[in-house]
Amino acid sequence: MKSVASQICAAGVFSASVVCAGSLMAEPLPLSHGNYVQADLACGGAPLAALRTYDGQGLGGPHDSKCVSKIIDARGKTYKIATSCAAAGDGSPVVPTTTSETVIVQSRGSFKIVDASAGDRGGVSFKLCAGSK
Tens-digit pLDDT profile for residues 21-72: 344 555 689 999 999 999 999 999 999 999 999 999 999 998 888 899 999 9
18-32, 38-52, 89-103, 116-130: range with highest mean pLDDT: 38-52
Q: How confident is the model at residue 82 (pLDDT cuts 50, 70, 90)?
A: very high
Across 111-133, average pLDDT:
80
Please enumerate in sequence order all residues whose Cβ is within 8 A of that of 91, keeping only pairs 6 or more positions apart, or say none.
65, 66
Contact 87, 95 (CB under 8 A): no
Please enumerate in sequence order all residues whose Cβ is within 8 A of that of 44, keeping only pairs 6 or more positions apart, or say none.
none
Q: What is the pTM of this model?
A: 0.74
